[in-house]
A and B are shown apart, each in its own frame.
Chain A
Amino acid sequence: DTGVSQNPRHKITKRGQNVTFRCDPISEHNRLYWYRQTLGQGPEFLTYFQNEAQLEKSRLLSDRFSAERPKGSFSTLEIQRTEQGDSAMYLCASSSGLAVQETQYFGPGTRLLVL
């Protein structure tokens, strides 16, 4: 399978705990994106990387959220001190090239439930 993969697919945690999600993009895709999708809504952009550089962060990405892409390949999204409002599907996508019109290929997502 050469698509975007995300792990874990599901995560249940208690409020206040830290969680980390991983995204493996399509090989050699230089752009990687993180989105959050809540029930009944479209995905909301969180952040994106071009290679290892984090170039854009949404105001939705509070101080409790941090994302990394240390070697320009896989990426991790960490949420510290989770809150019930963090419950959502977290989507990762990747694209090749440098242009905004490049197609983003999405992974299956990680569904987070904060109790």
Chain B
Amino acid sequence: AQSVTQLDSHVSVSEGTPVLLRCNYSSSYSPSLFWYVQHPNKGLQLLLKYTSAATLVKGINGFEAEFKKSETSFHLTKPSAHMSDAAEYFCVVSDENGGFKTIFGAGTRLFVKA
């Protein structure tokens, strides 16, 4: 069965330092993986997605994620945090094996300190 685990409910970094948001997934098929960001009182916005092409995926605002099948991970990184990155981040797995499913992780709240 599909599942998504975001390993940290909260992450706090200082502005200008690297960001790492961790995500592990479980899927019995070849999944598509996504990271979405949700700013307060705003809709979910796609950061990046993996769809079985390059394992290192670059997204918007300097974020990137690496698909590691052997580790069933899809961690999100950014070299240098900006205050505007403070938001809720969701890791998402989607596939159609046995019926369409899109599973969101519980989310990681990113705090950025000045």
Contacts and interface: CB of A to CB of B under 8 A. Distances in A.
B83 interface: no
A91 interface: yes
Nearest to A108: B43
Contacts of B32: 100-101
Contact of B102 (A45, A105, A109): A45
A100 B96 contact: yes
Binding site of B, secondary structure by majority: helix, strand, loop or mixed?
Answer: strand
B94 A100 contact: yes
Interface size on A, as a range, is: 20 to 34
A100 B95 contact: yes
Contacts of B95: 100
A109 B105 CA distance: 18
Given A43-B104, A100-B96, A104-B46, 13 more contacts: A4-B43, A41-B106, A42-B90, A42-B107, A45-B102, A56-B99, A56-B100, A100-B94, A101-B32, A103-B34, A105-B46, A106-B43, A107-B43
Interface of B: 32, 34, 36, 42-46, 49, 51-52, 90, 94-96, 99-107
Interface of A: 3-4, 33, 35, 40-45, 48, 55-56, 91, 93, 100-101, 103-109
